[in-house]
Structure 1
Amino acid sequence: MQIQSRPMGPYQTNCYLVTIDGKTLIIDPGVGASEWVLAHAQNPVAILNTHGHFDHVWSNAELKERLGIPIYCPAEDAFMLAADPLGQGMPPSTPDIEVQPDQRLEISDIEVRFRHFPGHTPGCSVVEIGDAWFCGDFLFRDSIGRWDFPYSSARQMLGSLQKAAAIEGDYTLYPGHGPTSTLKREQRNIPFWIEEVRKRR
Structure 2
Amino acid sequence: MQIKKQPMGPYQTNCYIATVDGKDFIIDPGVGATGWVLNNVTNPVAILNTHGHFDHVWSNSELQEKLGVKLYTPKGDIPLLQDNTWMPDLPPSTPDVAIEGDEELDFDGTKVKFTHFPGHCPGCSTIEIEHAMFSGDFIFQRSIGRTDFPYSSPEDMKKSLEKFKQIPYDKTVYPGHGENTSIKQEQQYADYWINQL
TM-score bin (small chain) = over 0.9
Equivalent position of 1:84 in the other structure: 84
- Name the amino acid aligned to 1:63: L
Matched with 2:94 is 94
Distance 2:17 2:190 in 1: 28
Q: 2-side partners of 1:25 and 1:40: how far apart?
A: 11
Q: Which residue of 1 aligns with 2:190?
A: 190
Deviation at 1:83, TM superposition (A): 2.0
Query: Which residue pairs with 1:152 in the alignment?
Result: 152
1:43 alignment partner AA: N
Secondary structure class of the residue paired with 2:189:
helix
CA deviations 1:151-182 (Å, max 9, x no partner) are: 00011000000000111110110000000000
Code of the residue aligned with 1:127 in structure 2: it is I
Deviation at 1:191, TM superposition (A): 1.0
Give the SS at the match of 1:80.
helix
* Structure 2, unaligned runs of 5 or more: none
Percent identity for Structure 1 against Structure 2 = 55
Q: Which amino acid aligns with 1:75?
A: K
- Give me the whole-angstrom Cα distance separating, in 2, the residues matched to 1:89 and 1:149: 19
Match in the other structure for 1:164: 164
Shift of 1:84: 3.0
Moved over 3 A (4+): none
What is the count of residue pairs matched by the alignment?
197
Q: Which residue of 1 is the match for residue 4 of structure 2?
A: 4
Q: What is the DSSP-based 3-state SS (H/G/I as helix, E as strand, rest coil) of the residue aligned with 2:16?
A: strand
Alignment partners' CA distance in 2, 1:52 and 1:96: 14
Match of 1:107 in 2: 107
Q: Distance in 1 between matches of 2:36 and 2:87?
A: 25
Q: Which secondary structure state, in structure 2, belongs to the residue aligned with residue 160 of structure 1?
A: helix
The answer to whether the 8 Å contact 1:25/1:48 transfers is yes
1:53/1:80 contact within 8 Å kept: yes
User: Following TM superposition, by how much is the alpha carbon of 1:131 offset from its aligned partner in structure 2, in angstroms?
Assistant: 2.1
Q: 1 CA distance for matches of 2:123 and 2:31?
A: 20
Distance 1:43 1:122, change over 3 A: same
Which string of whole-angstrom CA distances, capped at 9 and with x for unpartnered residues, describes residues 93-121 of structure 1? 00000001011111243211100000001
Question: Normalising to structure 2: TM-score of the pair?
Answer: 0.98
Offset, 1:87: 3.4
- 2-side partners of 1:107 and 1:60: how far apart? 19
1:51 corresponds to which residue? 51
- Contact 1:50/1:74 (<8 A) preserved: yes
The CA deviation at 1:85 is 4.3
**Residue 118 of structure 2 corresponds to which residue in structure 1?**
118
Alignment match, 1:20: 20
In structure 1, C-alpha distance between the alignment counterparts of 2:84 and 2:160, rounded to whole Å: 24
After superposition, the CA RMSD in angstroms is 0.9
Could you tell me which amino acid in structure 1 is paired with residue 122 of structure 2? P
Deviations 1:127-172 (A, max 9, x none): 0111210000000000000001010001100000000011111011
Q: Structure 1: give runs of 5+ residues left out of the alignment.
A: none
| Contact persistence 1:85–1:150 (CA under 8 A) | no
Q: Taking structure 1 as reference, are residues 177 and 78 closer, same or farther at Cα in structure 2, changes over 3 Å only?
A: same
Moved more, 25-34 or 99-108: 99-108
